[in-house]
């Protein structure tokens, strides 16, 4: 079965502070992992894919198969990063974690 766990419902940080949004997954096959972002009352937008190992808006995420994790990181948070972040696991369907609200305070 596919399962994604995001342990933090809310993460509140000050502007300029580092951010780490945690994501752990459970899947017997070869995982496809994604981070999606949803700004207030907008559509979900793909932020990162594990396969591309890219940095988008300063965010990075590394797949750690040993720890079955795909944490999202950014060294210096900005106020415009405030949003809901979903970790998602692809297989025969895309399964989402419960989401973490990131609030960046000035």
- Farthest-apart Cα atoms in the chain, separation: 42
Considering the complex, what minimum distance in angstroms separates the CB of residue 76 from other proteins?
Answer: 26
The H-or-E segment that residue 19 falls in is: strand 19-21
Q: Which of 5, 27, 32, 60 touches other proteins (CB under 8 A)?
A: 32
Q: Which C-beta is closer to other proteins: that of 13 or that of 94? A: 94
Residue 106 binding other proteins, by CB under 8 A: no
Report whether 6 contacts 22 (CB < 8 A): yes
Residue 44 binding other proteins, by CB under 8 A: yes
């Amino acid at each position: 079965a596919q399962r994604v766990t995001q342990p933090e419902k809310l993460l509140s940080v000050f502007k300029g502070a580092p951010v780490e949004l945690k994501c752990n997954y459970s899947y017997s096959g070869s995982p496809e992992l994604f981070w999606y972002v949803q700004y207030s009352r907008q559509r979900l937008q793909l932020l990162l894919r594990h396969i591309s190992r890219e940095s988008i808006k300063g965010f990075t995420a590394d797949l750690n198969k040993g720890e079955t994790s795909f944490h999202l990181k950014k060294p210096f948070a900005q106020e415009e990063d405030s949003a809901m972040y979903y970790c998602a696991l692809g297989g025969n369907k895309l399964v989402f974690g419960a989401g973490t609200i990131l609030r960046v305070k000035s």
